[in-house]
Chain A
Amino acid sequence: MTLLEEPIRELGRRLREREISAVELAEEALARAKELDPTLGAFLRVTPELALEAAAVADLRLQEDPAGAPILCGIPVAYKDVVCTEGVETTAGSQILRGFVPPYSATVVDRLSALGVVPLGKLNCDEFAMGSSNENSAYQLTRNPWDPERVAGGSSGGSAVAVAARLACVTLGSDTGGSIRLPASFSGVVGVKPTYGRVSRYGLIAFASSLDQIGPLAKTVEDAALVLTAIAGQDPRDSTSVVAPVDGFLGELRAGVKGLRLGIPKEYLEVGLDPGVRAVFEQSIRMLEGLGAVTQEVSLPTTEYALSAYYVIAPAEVSSNLARMDGVRFGPGFAGATTLKEAYEQARHEGFGEEVRRRVTLGTYALSSGYYDAYYLRAQKVRTLVAQDFDLAFAQVDAIISPTAPTAAFRLGERTADPLAMYATDVLTLPANLAGISGISVPAGFAAGLPVGLQVLGPYLGESTCFRVAQSLETEARIWDRLPPLAVAPA
């Protein structure tokens, strides 16, 4: 058994009681990465020196003031490669950012560093977080630890796999349309998509600015709540971040679900759910009802339009956000180009992968004069309707539950030839991004040996309720500590 199987509270106790040191913990994490990651492909780069240095500092802190040291002190973490880390190459999984070493760190990294976490490195993801399977990374494939022939889910695939395979205690990912919740479901870990504005986006390489949120992936709901508590809160460097209390995440964690009203959106059951997924979902409903929750059907009628709206708004923002990747300062350059236009075309064609180019093209089109009203403006109207659907639903229920995805992890290559099929993977997760509300995916069971997550959606700033429901299910389902086959080092 590895130390990395322990939840943060238990590790914290052992660190404080000097049973283990932060350096030992870091060394074990680094050793596991070295041994297991060549198969899994979760890390794009491991930073052993930084990890050991931070661990040594954490040990000093734990030694000097065991009671006063933050709970995350000495805990090994890793960041999705869209999160800027000062002095450590940050590529967003793209060729065009190969060699980009940010001179600054994201606010979330600063906050966690201040608490004494141990940074293990940067995690693989779909290029600029665009994808649902991690197959769009320019660098490597990330495999599902439950079945190496299946995808990890995306775009925070590396973040999910690193936790599932116990390479890191917790990781950060980013969720624009389901990019935390989906891989969390596919890999059997907890993934939180906070309310828009809950966590600072400063230092997050933007995919779609109005949809992106950074959130934690963890083994347990409590670990996720601990990390979200640490990274949430208003940031003067992000004008879209909000001022709101964060004490409820942990404070109400074990308040149970007795009397909670849980809505089941009928439209979410009409998206072609895999029978195994449906069975796990029905089992989750029974568990939660058994704990005293009251379930009822709700309706989110604009669900069928949400996907289309999302694939106008997100690419529109992408086309603008990625314009700075013009070959002048990033990317392989444009040797041989004879005009400025040619230089841009060359740099961007060579620097971006196919899916990124597709979305940039879609977005550019949607914003062009003559098409703006028909696409972008109309999509924004749909977005408003999607948010109103949720408002109406949350007037009747405290939280909404559904499967996180229609299926469990699919096979590598299964959807790469069909972008629309790939996009449909996010059909149950992306409405929450359009509405800006909170959501969690928590391991709920298995279908044919593959993990299946339950998605809990809460209202705006309603994370506490999501955590309560997820914690109740985690306690009842008792599967969080089940190890995937690829998390076990060959003897």
Chain B
Amino acid sequence: MSTIAPSPWEAVIGLEVHAQLLTRSKMFCSCRADYLGLPPNSNTCPVCLGLPGSLPVINEAGIRLTLRTALALNCEIPQFTKFDRKNYFYPDLPKGYQISQYDLPLSLGGWLDFEVGGRSVRAGITRVHLEEDTGTLHHAGEIHNSTFSLVDLNRAGVPLMEIVGEPDLRSPAEARAYLATLRQVLIYIGVNDGNMEEGSLRCDANISLRPVGAEALGVKVEIKNMNSFRSVLRALEYELTRQREVLDEGGRLSQETRGWSELEQRTVSQRSKEEAQEYRYFPEPDLPPLVISRAQVEEVRAGLPELPAARRARFQSQYRLADEQALLLTARPGDSQYFEEVVALGVTPQLAANWQLGDLQGLCNTANLPVEKCRVGPAPLADLLKMIEGHEVTANVAKEVLAQAFETGEDPAELVRSQGLGQVSDTGEIAVMVDQALAQNAKAASDYQAGNDRALGALVGAVMKMSQGRANADIVNQLLHTRLPRPGG
């Protein structure tokens, strides 16, 4: 018999997240910020092409969205900020430098609260700053054997926000939860679309190990090329194991940058510390420093929408929803907005929650649609749910009608009326069916009277079948109980 010794190592992880901002134009010119799907190099101008003589002009919207993010992440906004040039050569960098921020970023020192395994964790945010995105390269074949590469500058100059996290994360799972929560906040406040696959949200990680209880940090490895939550988790897990094995064998780690290979499911060394880039930062002389007034900060703060955590708490208290339901209904702004619209139309919150998270969510998942994009809007759903509440339609019929409306876009309440699917609550009409059911199921009737509760289900089922699901279940039950009195019952 063996026990696994607890690992003497503790992971120290910090994430650097890059998020493209949802501005209309690029950061320093008037080209479109939404470049996807455009012919190569068509979304360009002298400024984002970096043509000699061109000059950048700050897009105020980029500043505003960065401030918005910084405030949502509880950062301080210094009064004085500036842009700097980060100098390095690469074919996707048209000017040979990236306009970024170095020592005086737009914001400093915030935090993000998130949950992992039912535990609440707070991780520090070092800074949120603003820079410009690079172009993209298209290699002929794999990069190591391609004979040429094509440069597309459609993306060059798109506003890119960098959110640098403190090394406060202690496991790959925490890193994943942090990233998911951060992504949710960015989507909530409307600054980023959260699309990791298409690269509008990107994540790099720094990870090191140190003996449990130690203060000093171990040798740091930077991991790049993770383009999904899954790859963040996998890459960090892989790296954690790799580093632990090296250390357990008494080996030494080297400070380096490693890339995550999705294909091989491992990290591969890209650059050692010695080869580290020298960026030669200096203040961007083409852009005067910015003074951010307190009034401007307060204006942005006042414009912040309700954040996910606050909304989740409010859903629990205001609508008396269970934590799990509140969590699911506030996952995305689209979910909670849909829900609140249905409730605003007079539907009981619990019923609305059950249906949105149940049948409707199921249909949406199958169709791969967000709820706000599906063909059943909040108003038609509310009409249908109110029919249930008013005993005008049974839940079973409503489910079928909803599925049909989801496919065709028809109005569900109208479907109920036009197809005569309304609930039957006429006692006389139901009594006829009950009597017929009793006649055809004499054994079930006597079984029930003999004490077998389950036999009643068969009788109710028979009536429902006869009524095509429309019979009012309460009346059916009531009539059956009257017809089949049980001794002492």
Contact = CB atoms under 8 A, between A and B. Distances in A.
Nearest to A371: B280
Interface stretch (B47-55, B120-128, B292-300): B47-55
Interface string A253-291: 000000000000000000000000000000000000000
Contact of A328 (B55, B91, B97, B280): B91
Contacts of A330: 52
B96 A203 contact: no
B288 interface: yes
B55 A238 contact: yes
24 contacts: A82-B53, A84-B51, A97-B52, A102-B46, A102-B51, A102-B53, A103-B51, A106-B53, A201-B55, A202-B53, A202-B54, A237-B55, A239-B57, A239-B58, A240-B285, A320-B85, A323-B97, A324-B50, A324-B95, A325-B52, A340-B90, A367-B280, A368-B278, A368-B280
A376 interface: yes
A166 B95 CA distance: 38
Q: Which of the listed residues A90, A319, A323, A372 has the most CB atoms from chain B within 10 Å of its own CB?
A: A323
A144 interface: no
Contacts of B97: 320, 323
**List of 9 A-B pairs having minimum Cβ-Cβ separation, nearest first:** A323-B96, A367-B280, A209-B285, A210-B285, A205-B52, A84-B53, A203-B53, A324-B95, A324-B96
A136 to B, nearest CB: 17
Given A84-B51, A323-B87, A372-B282, 9 more contacts: A83-B53, A103-B46, A204-B53, A206-B52, A239-B56, A320-B87, A324-B95, A328-B91, A340-B90
A202 B52 CA distance: 10
Given A240-B286, A344-B89, A84 B96 contact: no
Given A103-B46, A323-B96, A326-B89, A205 B53 contact: yes
Nearest to B47: A237
A368 B281 CA distance: 8
Contacts of A368: 278, 280
A92 interface: yes
A180 B96 CA distance: 28
Contacts of B285: 208-210, 240, 317
B287 interface: yes
B194 interface: no
Interface string A322-354: 111110111000000000100010000000000
Given A320-B85, A320-B87, A320-B280, A92 B58 contact: no
Nearest to B46: A104
Interface residues of B, number: 28
Q: Which of A322, A324, A330, A376 has the most CB of B within 10 A?
A: A324
A376 B281 CA distance: 11
B151 interface: yes
Contacts of A106: 53
B167 interface: no
A239 B53 contact: no
Contacts of A203: 53-54
Q: Which of B54, B58, B151 lies at the interface centre, i.e. has the most chain A CB atoms within 10 A of its CB?
A: B54
Interface in A212-261: 236-240
A201 B85 CA distance: 18
Contacts of B57: 236-237, 239
Which of B87, B97, B285: most chain A CB closer than 10 A? B285
Nearest to B49: A329
A372 B87 CA distance: 14
Nearest to B90: A340
B96 to A, nearest CB: 2
Contact of B280 (A83, A210, A364): A364
Contacts of A202: 53-55
B96 A320 contact: yes
B469 interface: no
Interface of A: 82-84, 90, 92, 97, 100, 102-104, 106, 201-206, 208-210, 236-240, 316-317, 319-320, 322-326, 328-330, 340, 344, 364, 367-369, 372, 376
Contacts of B95: 323-324
A323 to B, nearest CB: 2
- B53, B58, B278, B281: residue with the most chain A Cβ atoms closer than 10 Å: B53
Contacts, number: 96
B337 to A, nearest CB: 38
Interface string B57-70: 11000000000000
Nearest to B95: A324
A82 B53 CA distance: 8
Contacts of A208: 285
Contacts of A367: 87, 280-282
Contact of A326 (B53, B55, B96, B287): B96
A100 B95 CA distance: 16
A297 B94 CA distance: 50
Contacts of B151: 328
B312 to A, nearest CB: 43
Nearest to B50: A324
B58 A316 contact: no
A67 B195 CA distance: 61
B96 A92 contact: no
A239 B94 contact: no
B52 A100 contact: yes
A239 B50 contact: no
Nearest to B29: A237
Interface in B318-370: none
A239 B63 CA distance: 15
A364 B87 CA distance: 10
A206 B53 contact: yes
A48 B56 CA distance: 33
Nearest to A97: B52
Contacts of B282: 316, 320, 367, 372, 376
A97 B55 CA distance: 18
Given A202-B53, A206-B53, A237-B55, A319 B87 contact: yes
A206 B55 CA distance: 9
A239 B278 contact: no
Contacts of B51: 84, 102-104
Given A324-B96, A367-B87, A84 B52 contact: yes
A104 B53 CA distance: 10
A238 B57 CA distance: 7
Contacts of B278: 368-369
Nearest to B87: A320
Interface string B116-136: 000000000000000000000
B322 to A, nearest CB: 54
Contacts of A82: 53
Interface centre among B52, B58, B95 (most CB of A within 10 A): B52
A344 B96 CA distance: 11
Interface in B81-114: 85, 87, 89-91, 94-97
A84 to B, nearest CB: 4
A239 B50 CA distance: 16
B52 A324 contact: yes
A109 to B, nearest CB: 10
A323 B56 contact: no
A83 B282 CA distance: 25
B81 to A, nearest CB: 14
A364 B94 CA distance: 18
A323 B95 CA distance: 6
A210 B287 CA distance: 10
Contacts of A322: 96
Nearest to B45: A104
Contacts of B287: 239-240
A82 B52 CA distance: 9
A326 B88 CA distance: 11
Interface in B203-247: none
A238 B47 CA distance: 11
A103 B46 CA distance: 8
Nearest to A105: B53
Contacts of B87: 319-320, 323, 367
Nearest to A238: B55
